[in-house]
Amino acid sequence: MNAFEYLTSLPVASVDRLFNDPWACQAVFQSLPALSQQIVMRLLFTTTETSRATILGWATDAAADTMAAATDKLCNLRVLSESPRGMHLNPHFQTQLRTALSSLGGSPWEDGRARLPPEKPITALDLEHYARNRWDAVLHFMVGSTAVQAPPDTVVQILEQTRLMQASPEDRRKLHITDTGYEFMLKDIHAQTWIFVLEYIKNIHRQGVMSAEEMLQFLFQIRSITPRPTHVVIKCIRSYCQMHQYYAVADLTRNQQQLLGDLVELGLLYRSNPRATRFYTTSLAVNLIFGGLAGQTRSAIQMNQSLESMHLAATNGSTKPANDVNRAPGAHLSIVVETNFKVYAYTSSSLHIAMLSVFVDIVVRLNNLAVGFLTRESIRSALIHGISAEQIYDFLMQHAHPKMLHNNPVIPENIADQLYLWQRERNRIQFVPGELLEGFTLSEEFAKVVQYARDLDVLTWSDASQHKLTVKQEGADAVRKFIQSQR
């Protein structure tokens, strides 16, 4: 569920309050497919209802289904409303989008920047490293790594609420990653942050700290700092400086200021200290809303990220390729799996090593290489914590070394087969709580009791030679009463 799918689940009154903000309306408009945007632009300055048939008639017969889908999307987002007289734009959205398209510029907090005393700004590269390190602290905690400081209690609570982590069966005070959490680890960082922030929005809404629509409005305002694609590349690069510029804390609402601390902990924003008068935005924040979308929006994001890398390279005087500038050291992971169950992981990231340690027995650690083995014990430990063989196999495939991609299959067959065999081992024995009944002297009495337990469907085992049987826990009292009645 992305931000706009979540928007459809909010009450009508909440959506109307959100649409009273021009920055939110601008963000929603940017998220729409091209055809939906065309419908909005045609209706933006109309004051009368338009019939559905008229709107569908704007497209050719071949595109009728696409036009209907675009119209339905607008209705789901509450941008378009339908009445017996026809269809019309949400009046709040219509008014504020007119304002956004005709007079908005810069950012929601641009005026406050002029009132702040000048100071040396933090470099874009330092901000990106800060954001990545903050988020990596959450991921480190999920895989049980102690290489970095544990996140605050607020973050830990959300990890439990989203079932990304759960209490260990042996020690209820200790948390471990779940299968859902492991799937989460394999997602793109922007998808990870949105999943996390979505639960955070629900949490603060339940606590009454801030309404869901007010939190969305704040995120949409942060998103509006990123530039819209333009044909003039120089302007786009220049406006990207805003992504890493500072803004006045005083320009935020009282509720938004209360959230600064949590957003700083997640790496979405930066603040030098709790009393600082300014805050910085990071790419995690501005890409949060559109990070999980597809199609045109994803293409725009890729363009923006490329332009950002160009800007980072220019401002830091780097001669490295643009795509590598914003990549954290050791962020790349390449895995080689041999038929003897030996695993070579080329990485210098402690987070990657911690992820591998969940199911690999690491025996050697070098600066840019870790060596380990897939063993029955290491895989069984991962399976106990809810990680499936399919997820382990997918992880090895996703990070396979480029030279391994020429193999057919990429992962040796004996490795893949053994992963699933180890998983099936845990399903060979089924544990059923029960009781053992013995001490029978007559074979006829024993046979009657066995038959009675079988009729109740509580018999789990019997041995006629030793006159012993076991029954399920829930049927033990009934069987004992039957034995007493027979005697």
At 197-210, the pLDDT tens digits run: 888 888 888 878 78
pLDDT at 310 over 70: no
Say how far residue 473 (Cα) sits from the centre of its chain.
Answer: 42
pLDDT of amino acid 259: 82
87/117 same-domain check = no
Q: Is residue 300 part of a domain?
A: no
Q: Is residue 308 part of a domain?
A: no
Beta strands in 64-138, from DSSP E residues, in sequence order: 80-83, 86-89
pLDDT class for 151, splitting at 50, 70, 90? confident
pLDDT of amino acid 97: 92
Q: Is residue 121 part of a domain?
A: yes
pLDDT of amino acid 173: 64
349/225 same-domain check = no
408/273 same-domain check = no
Q: Among 45-59, 114-128, 222-236, which stretch is predicted with the lowest mean pLDDT?
A: 222-236
Residue 15 is part of which domain span? 3-103
Read off the pTM: 0.62
Tokens of 21: 């903000």
177/255 same-domain check = yes
pLDDT of amino acid 413: 94
Domain count across the chain: 4
More confident position, 93 or 117: 93
The Cα–Cα gap between 55 and 42 comes to 10
Tokens of 345: 């992981």
More confident position, 437 or 486: 437
pLDDT of amino acid 339: 95
Say how far residue 323 (Cα) sits from the centre of its chain.
Answer: 23
Q: What is the CATH number of the domain that holds 441?
A: 3.30.70.2610
At 389-432, the pLDDT tens digits run: 988 998 899 899 999 999 999 999 999 999 999 998 887 777 78
The Cα–Cα gap between 18 and 12 comes to 10
339/264 same-domain check = no
Q: What is the CATH number of the domain that holds 49?
A: 1.10.10
pLDDT of amino acid 227: 45
281/178 same-domain check = yes
279/353 same-domain check = no
17/136 same-domain check = no
pLDDT of amino acid 324: 38
150/218 same-domain check = yes
Which helix or strand (DSSP H or E) is residue 373 part of? strand 370-373
At 328-370, the pLDDT tens digits run: 444 588 999 999 999 999 998 888 888 888 899 999 999 899 9
32/119 same-domain check = no
